[in-house]
Amino acid sequence: MADNEITESIDTSVKNTSITQNQSEEEAKAQALLEEKDSESRLRTYSGSAGKAITVLLCVWPAVCGALQTQIFEQDANVKRIRITGPGNGANCVITFDIL
């Protein structure tokens, strides 16, 4: 009887170890899929001439916003900056001018 109990105990232990390993593997696969999906949502690729234009625009946008906020621009364009809303040099920046 003792041998049967030992055998059953070993079988149960092996099954539990197998289940734990399977769960760990499944959790690792789920985490990998989640990370892959998350990176896909952040990564954007553009192709062709439109892609090049978008890439250039994204690179120069902060410089354009910065130039619009200078006194030199105000003097050359004969405008006065009233307010800036949104992030200083981002795509959501709104600069309001008064035409002189």
Q: Are residues 73 and 38 in the same domain?
A: no
Q: Are residues 92 and 53 in the same domain?
A: yes
Provide the number of structural domains found in the chain. Answer: 2
Q: Are residues 80 and 35 in the same domain?
A: no
Query: What tokens does 53 get?
Result: 């234009």
Q: Domain range for residue 6?
A: 1-43
Q: Are residues 52 and 36 in the same domain?
A: no
**Report field, pTM of the whole predicted structure over 0.85:** no
Q: Which residue has the higher pLDDT, 54 or 82?
A: 82
Q: How confident is the model at residue 81 (pLDDT cuts 50, 70, 90)?
A: very high
CB neighbours of 98 closer than 8 A, spacing ≥ 6? Answer: 79, 80, 82
Q: Are residues 99 and 55 in the same domain?
A: yes
* CA-angle at 97, arms to 96 and 100, nearest 5°: 165
Report d(CA 28, CA 74) in Å as an integer: 57
